[in-house]
């Protein structure tokens, strides 16, 4: 069964967990329990801010490292989920359900991509 990487895209610094409605964590917990019991969720986590990250670039045969934050970047990957689904439609459906549990005033997006399996 194919695997899909769902990357949570946010505008860094615009989401404050303290602003979440009281039921947010409960809704998210219930969804994670459901997706885990369904055998879909392989791994998930939030990511630390870009201020605590480093970009490594290979260009013209040279490596360079740039420490965050990356002020030129508006949208960043704020978390991820690795899922095993029967097809892209199922992965997208789980992604929609994930977004729907968030407070409606937050701007959160997902990019869902199938993982390219070795030898396929």
Q: Cα–Cα distance between 100 and 36 in angstroms, integer? A: 18
Q: What is the CA radius of gyration of the chain?
A: 16
pTM of the model: 0.87
The CATH number of the structural domain formed by 3-15+23-114 is 3.30.70.1060
Segment 35-89, tens digit of pLDDT: 999 999 999 999 999 999 999 999 999 999 999 888 777 789 999 999 999 999 9
15 — alpha (psi -120 to 50), left (phi > 0) or beta? beta
Domain ranges of the chain: 3-15+23-114
Task: Find the angle CA(95)-CA(91)-CA(70) to the nearest 5 degrees.
Answer: 55
Would you say 1 and 75 are in contact if contact means Cβ atoms under 8 Å apart?
no
Alpha helices in the chain (DSSP H): 24-37, 88-100
Would you say 4 and 113 are in contact if contact means Cβ atoms under 8 Å apart?
yes
Segment 18-44, tens digit of pLDDT: 888 889 999 999 999 999 999 999 999
């Amino acid at each position: 069964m194919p695997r899909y990487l769902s990357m949570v895209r946010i505008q860094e610094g615009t989401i404050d967990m303290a602003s979440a409605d009281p039921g947010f964590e409960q809704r998210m917990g219930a969804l994670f329990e459901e997706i885990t019991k369904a055998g879909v969720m392989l791994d998930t986590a939030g990511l630390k801010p870009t201020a605590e990250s480093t970009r490594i670039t290979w260009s013209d045969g040279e490596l360079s490292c740039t420490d965050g934050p990356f002020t030129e970047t508006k949208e960043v990957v704020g978390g991820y989920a690795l899922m095993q689904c029967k097809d892209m439609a199922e992965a997208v459906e789980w992604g929609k359900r994930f977004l729907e549990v968030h407070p409606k005033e937050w701007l959160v997006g997902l990019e869902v991509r199938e993982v390219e399996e070795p030898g396929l």
